[in-house]
Amino acid sequence: MKLLSLELENFRQFRGAQRVEFATGAAQNVTLVYGPNGGGKTTLLNAFTWILYGTFTEDLERPEELIHSDTWALAAEGRRLHVSGVLRFKHGESVYEVERRLEAVKETPEQRITNRRGELRVLVTDERGSTNEPRNPGDLIDRILPEKLSKFFFFNGERIENLTRHSAYEELADATKTLLGLEVVSRAISHLPNAAKTFREELGKLSSSEGQALERKVAEHERRIAQFVEDLSTENSNLSALEDRREAVGRELAANQSSRVLQEKRRAAEKSRKDAEARQDAARRGMRELISREGFLPFTASLASTVRERFSDLEERGELPAPIKEPFIRELLDRGTCICGSPVDDGSPTRAELETYLKTAGSPELESLWTRLDGTARRLPDECVSFHANLTRLLKEEDSAVRVRQEAIELESEVSKELKDGEDVDVQALEDKHATLLGEINACNQRVGRLQSDLKREQAQHADAVKAFDKASKDDARSNELKECLRIAREGVEALRAIQGVLTEGVRQQLNERIQATYDKISARPRTPELSSEFELRLWETGPDGRRRRASNSTSENTILALSFVGGLVSLARDLEEDRVDDVALRRLTEGSGGIYPVVVDAAFGSLDETYKVEVARALPKLASQLVIFVSKAQAQDTVDELAARIGSQWVIVSHVAKADRDEDIEVGGVDHPYRRVCSSGDEHADLLELP
Amino acid sequence: MEKRIDVAAELKAAFEQASPKARQLVAAVLEIERANQHLSVPRVGDDIKKAIIDAAKSVTPS
């Protein structure tokens, strides 16, 4: 998808017809739109989502005022007014002209448009110039860029850090799977059990009363499992939302002068506790693995000495190594001549003599086994010592982690008490809120634990009921056919789940590599971004002890992390589209997915610290093959120079407002251009001005 | 950088855990879903269920 132009008519601040053309060059891929705060930048961002999907971003104020407000105010009651937008873009070899138009009759002085979707029309012109109008334009748009993905391509830079919040994990997983075509497998997983259920119900109808009762039991277990899964999902969402709220309270405490130091102390303690918990888990995992692999060693002390004794005994008796080997005697017997030259004929005394040696001659295999056994036995004491040493090390590690965790918990509790006992009532209120949220989080965690255990039990009972039902069902041809269908469907679901797991992991790893590459382009800090297997966006650093630990993320760091995710996603989608993913299997299974997407970002530098702004400005053009950025005059300072070489098209939203004190210009390339103009009340509007 | 999984090998293992008939069904269901994705009005509910039931019956000859 390459954006070509955007046309608006009476769309919120933009009175009459307005038009923007986007930079489409490979080297100069940036369209920069300057605009004063409140002048229409967020409106322009929303023009994309409204035209494509009929929706708005959450931060758009008064979405019910869709038609230019003064045009509405000046119109007579009963008059029919309209608003429209046309987005032209190239996708594949075709050019798409997407138009959304809404008409409304003015019935009240205030504009209260509730149904804001309007009418959508799409015209597609192919490479030979022939144009057609698809019958389902909404479906077509959703196939080119699914609505649920739009927030990754049309976003407000000040809010993009929300992708690092707990509540965003599901969204990240969903977006990744959708963009990369894994939805087909997800849908198969949800549809195939329905077919299996039909087979089971039919089989139940053919069964005895006992079989029918068991079928009902299986159905009841499945209903409960579905309920537990749904409840778990709800509780996990609640938990994520509570964590986000707790972190928001933490940020408020950190922003307050009188609680900043204590909050920082708590943040450090929390980090220390989480690191300690990770160490504790790792130590316990290590112990489990060690014991399952080498746990037999402490019981081998007597075994080692017994083997040694027996081996020494055999050596002393001259049986090891054996003086005469069995193959040697057999060779003499086969050859028919002794080493002394005497013939060894059947029945001869020499042959009889040689045959007696066979009884005492040693077997080379047995000797080799004894030698190996002895070698193993000799190593056992050392291995046992090493096992004890490793176990002791892991126990010490666990003890140390438990101690650090306990200290951190105590520190967190002290901080909480100090915050509550402080004199600042605002801080006290925030701390109360924090404590309440912590309580709710703990309660939620307990519910999650209980539900997980209930689900596990239910699944085990379901498996038993399924076995009993299968056993109880009849043995006639129709029943057997249904049983076979049911068995195949169940196996199919299991295989699909396994396939989904592999594909998700494969895609996640590919995405991770691209997130890291994007992050490295933006930031020179020695940190590692990661999209975890739970699709959580994390940032890691190496501590002074050489251990990997979670890096503390500021808003700027979170913004960069989220931008890296967007960059990674855009990059992977493009590589899939252009057949450049280096995993053949993944490429084949995600065939037809991916695509080339632009990134449209409002307030790209809004929430960044000064030091990060320049880095982000430098990296943004590399984020996607086409970039549209909306900035205010203040946001443009220090950043536009970094973008200069990549800018292919520049525009100013000239805001005409009645409340401004004076006219204001913006200087771009040494030339002043209108930025804000004072106007009379009733004439407020915004114009789009192209800069040379 | 984490060690990459071998997608092809893991997919093969995932696929091979199922019996040949179940594999046939998996392939058929994925094909139905893929085709459904490209329909202007995707099949839903009983309609898609019927297609999958037919696919299961076709790999399980009576």
Q: Which residue of A has its CA nearest to B51?
A: A195
User: Do B23 and A495 lie within an 8 Å CB cutoff?
Assistant: yes
A200-213 pLDDT tens trace: 999 999 988 999 99
pLDDT score, position A226? 92
Residue A659 to residue A674: CA distance in whole angstroms = 16
Separation in Å, CA of A387 to nearest CA in chain B: 28
**Interface contact A583-B2, CB threshold 8 A:** no
pLDDT given for residue A147 in this prediction: 87
The C-alpha torsion from A234 through A240 and A243 to A245, rounded to 10°, is: -80
- What's the gap in Å between the CA of B40 and the closest CA on chain A? 7
Q: Work out the mean pLDDT of chain A and round it to a whole number.
A: 89
**By CA distance, what is B29's nearest residue in A?**
A188
Strand A627-631 to A30-34 pairing: parallel
Helix (H) or strand (E) segment spanning residue A219: helix A209-255
At B40, is the pLDDT very low, low, confident or very high (cuts 50, 70, 90)? Answer: low
Higher-scoring residue by pLDDT: A31, A164: A31
Chain B residues with CB-CB distance to A184 below 8 A: 30, 33-34, 37
What is residue A222's predicted lDDT score, i.e. its pLDDT?
92
Best-predicted range by mean pLDDT among A139-143, A554-558, B21-25?
B21-25
Q: Radius of gyration over alpha carbons of chain B, in Å?
A: 15
| Contact indicator for A62, A68 with CB cutoff of 8 Å | no
**Nearest chain A alpha carbon to B50:** A195
Supply the pLDDT for residue A388. 95
Instruction: Read off the pLDDT of each residue in A53-68 and give the average, rounded to a whole number.
Output: 89
Here the tokens at position A575 are 């590589």
CA distance A193 to chain B (A): 9
Q: What's the distance, Cα to Cα, between the start and end of chain B in Å?
A: 52
Kindly report each contact of residues A290-296 with a partner whose C-beta sits within 8 Å and lies 24 or more positions away, as own/partner: A290/A387, A290/A390, A290/A391, A290/A394, A291/A391, A294/A383, A294/A387, A294/A390
Q: Name residue A402's amino acid.
A: V
Q: What is the pLDDT of residues A128-145, one digit of tens each?
A: 999 999 888 988 898 888
Residues 6+ apart with CB under 8 A from B12: none
**In chain A, which residues have their Cβ closer than 8 Å to the Cβ of B25?**
192, 488-489, 491-492
Task: Annotate A461-484 with DSSP letters as a single string.
Answer: HHHHHHHHHHHHS--SHHHHHHHH
A607 versus A331: the higher-pLDDT residue is A331
- Please tell me the distance in Å from B47's CA to the nearest CA on chain A: 11
Q: A with B: how many residue pairs have Cβ under 8 Å apart?
A: 114
* Residues A492-510, mean pLDDT to the nearest whole number: 90
Q: How far apart are CA A486 and CA B21, in angstroms?
A: 12
At residue A170, the pLDDT reads 82
In chain B, residues with a C-beta closer than 8 Å to the C-beta of A192 are 25, 29, 52
A-proximal residues of B, 3-62, CB under 8 Å: 4-5, 7-8, 10-11, 13-15, 17-19, 21-23, 25-26, 29-30, 32-34, 36-37, 40-41, 48-49, 52-53, 56-57, 59-60, 62
Largest CA distance in chain A: 136
What residue of B is the nearest CA neighbor of A140?
B40
Ranking A217-231, A447-461, A510-524 by mean pLDDT, the lowest is A510-524
Mean pLDDT score, A68-93: 92
Predicted-complex ipTM score: 0.93
Cβ contact (<8 Å) for B29 and A191? yes
pTM of the model: 0.73
A interface with B, Cβ–Cβ below 8 Å: 134-136, 139, 183-185, 187-188, 191-192, 194-195, 198-199, 477, 481, 484-485, 487-489, 491-492, 494-496, 498-499, 501-503, 505-506, 509, 512-513, 516, 583-586, 589
